[in-house]
Amino acid sequence: MLIADVVFWNEGPLTGLRAQIARFLESQGVTTVDQALIQAKPISLPTCLDVNEFRKKTLAQLHDMADAIAGLQVAHATKSQLVYELLQFYSREGVELICEGVLELGKENFGMLRDPVRSFRSSQDDIHVPLNFLREYGLQSGHRIKLSARCSKERDKFITTAEILEAEGIPVADWKVPTDFDKLTPLFPDRRVYLEGNGPDFLSVRLVDLIAPLGLGQRALIVAPPRGGKTILLKQIAKAIRVNHPKAELIVLLLDERPEEVTDFEETVGCTVYASTFDESPRRHAQVADIVLDRAKRLVEQGKDVILLLDSLTRLARGHNAANQSGPIGSGGVSPVALQKSRKFFGAARNVEEGGSLTILATALIETESRMDDVIFEEFKGTGNMEIRLDRDLAERRVYPAIHIPQSGTRNDDRLYHPDEFSKVLDIRRQLAQLPYGEAVETLMKNLKATQNNAELLLRGIR
């Protein structure tokens, strides 16, 4: 007897549906049915499930869990599809789903809860946040929220939000919407980010600290040719910030990067790293950059000092340019819209009068024999208030760091130095200006190696 056209409707627990099927089969006189079709071994269900921890399970573990559930056909499912189906089952069985993540707003007036562990990559097991919750609690893209979720209804594509529990670690009953980032008052950077440290690994950043000091709220560029050492210098700066400013929110954003470089940053720097690799789409590069910037803004709104290291601004502009399929095309094949979006990202850096700051230190490529890269660099030239210039000739001679000292510096650096320190630094720069720039770097590095810290170097002078 064929019963394929029979439909069973049940919105309760799965056990009720199984009983409904069993009663129907008995009414049809079917007594020798394989009971595995309608019964499963009893499985223990938790009262509450942490979705973030559940996603960490391996594919094999998820398949074992799915095999214990009768009727769940997931033989060829991807990991995200498998997680989605299992969460749907648990929710239908009355298990409370708890998830924490970062909110990303879509163009259709709803939000999606993205997982920071996956660098906010969209996935089928992401949780939908309806518009009514966004309006009720004043939530914006970049807010970190904790919520309880329920299974999707018939026409829904995603698991959806049942209740918002926390926003930025604060219970929603006590949550107050902070002042919007764009309404905060920007100021000149006047608090210094110290990069000094002991040991040979800190020599390059001691040089940076001496000739181009970094301040909280700085808009800084590392301008470098290919293979000029920009990524290594960025990594050393990140390590120095972790040592000297552990309370600062340090974020590293790697766009269009090699996968091994991403792993190296994650293992050696020990900070939050978000990345998109070169095998991903330009739209993905733009998406992760947008949500990371939104996340940084939300942290600044709470009065925190955020330091964002970007590698690279050139790739960000290229990603926006490739993702923008319509509109006019300017010189070098670069869309003005793409440049505007990248300029908005870089221009977000500021010191805030109300408390907090957003510091952006980005790399930019030059001398790549690409007209597009030249146009992108010219667009940002002069927009920063601190610049480190790496030189191709020095890099080819294996002089590291390959910093062109006369072309590197910080605007209004007198706000960051102590007056006595400022006069000593001017003396050193005058001495180095009399030497060829390659010899100037080697002389300064030799003096840095001979001293324990920059204060000692300033007191004894260049020898």
Q: What CA–CA distance (Å, rounded) separates 127 from 49?
A: 14
Residue 323 shares a structural domain with residue 381: yes
Residue 12 shares a structural domain with residue 125: no
Identify whether the C-beta of residue 160 lies closer than 8 Å to the C-beta of residue 128: yes
Residue 328 shares a structural domain with residue 444: yes
pLDDT at residue 141, rounded to an integer? 92
Residue 1, domain member (yes or no): yes
Burial 263-274 (b: 16+ CB within 10 A, else e): eebeeebebebb
Q: What CA–CA distance (Å, rounded) separates 99 from 114?
A: 10
Strands (DSSP E) along 330-449, which ranges? 350-352, 357-365, 386-389, 409-410
pTM (2 d.p.): 0.85
Residue 237 shares a structural domain with residue 349: yes
Integer CA distances (angstroms), 79 to 58, 68, 191, 192, 199, in order: 8, 17, 46, 45, 44
Structure tokens at 251: 């974020």
Integer CA distances (angstroms), 37 to 41, 117, 187, in order: 11, 38, 68
How many structural domains is the chain composed of?
A: 3
Structure tokens at 418: 């102590």
Q: Are strands 305-311 and 249-257 parallel, antiparallel or unpaired?
A: parallel
Residue 161 shares a structural domain with residue 307: no
Residue 420 shares a structural domain with residue 380: yes
Q: What CA–CA distance (Å, rounded) separates 52 from 68?
A: 22
Question: Reduced to 3 states, what is the DSSP secondary structure of residue 5?
Answer: coil
Q: What are phi and psi of 155, to 5 degrees?
A: -95, 0
Residue 10, domain member (yes or no): yes
pLDDT at residue 43, rounded to an integer? 66
Q: What CA–CA distance (Å, rounded) separates 50 from 115?
A: 13
Residue 352, domain member (yes or no): yes
Instruction: Write the DSSP string, 224-275.
Output: E-TTSSHHHHHHHHHHHHHHH-TTSEEEEEEEEE-HHHHHHHHHHT-SEEEE
Range of the domain at 164: 45-171
Residue 49 shares a structural domain with residue 108: yes
Residue 179, domain member (yes or no): no
Residue 292 shares a structural domain with residue 438: yes
Residue 235 shares a structural domain with residue 346: yes
Among 139, 171, 203, identify where a domain stops.
171
Residue 180, domain member (yes or no): no
Residue 377, domain member (yes or no): yes
Q: What CA–CA distance (Å, rounded) separates 162 from 146?
A: 11
Structure tokens at 174: 């006590």
Residue 373, domain member (yes or no): yes
* CATH code of 130's domain: 2.40.50.140
Burial 160-188 (b: 16+ CB within 10 A, else e): bbbebebbeeeebeebeebeebeebeeee
Strands (DSSP E) along 390-463, which ranges? 409-410
Identify whether the C-beta of residue 173 lies closer than 8 Å to the C-beta of residue 140: no
Residue 178, domain member (yes or no): no
> pLDDT of the chain along its 463 residues, tens only?
445 566 655 555 555 556 666 666 667 666 555 554 555 455 677 788 898 898 888 888 888 887 777 667 676 778 888 888 888 888 888 888 999 999 999 877 789 999 999 989 988 889 999 899 999 899 999 999 999 998 877 667 788 898 999 999 999 999 999 999 999 999 999 899 999 888 778 888 999 999 999 999 999 999 988 888 888 899 999 999 999 999 999 999 999 888 898 888 888 888 889 999 888 888 899 899 999 999 999 999 999 999 999 988 888 888 888 877 666 777 767 778 888 888 899 999 999 998 899 999 999 888 887 888 888 888 888 788 899 999 888 888 888 888 888 888 998 888 888 888 899 989 988 988 888 888 888 888 898 888 888 888 888 888 7
Residue 101 shares a structural domain with residue 62: yes
Identify whether the C-beta of residue 441 lies closer than 8 Å to the C-beta of residue 388: no
Residue 313 shares a structural domain with residue 219: yes
What lies within 8 Å, CB to CB, of 129 at 6+ separation is 103, 110, 111, 112, 113, 139, 145, 147, 160, 161
Among 148, 171, 194, identify where a domain stops.
171
* CATH code of 438's domain: 3.40.50.300
Residue closest to 15 by CA, chosen among 97, 96, 94: 94
Residue 291 shares a structural domain with residue 380: yes
Q: Whose structure tokens read 């998820």?
A: 62
Q: What CA–CA distance (Å, rounded) separates 350 from 360?
A: 9
Give residue 271's identity as a one-letter amino acid code. C
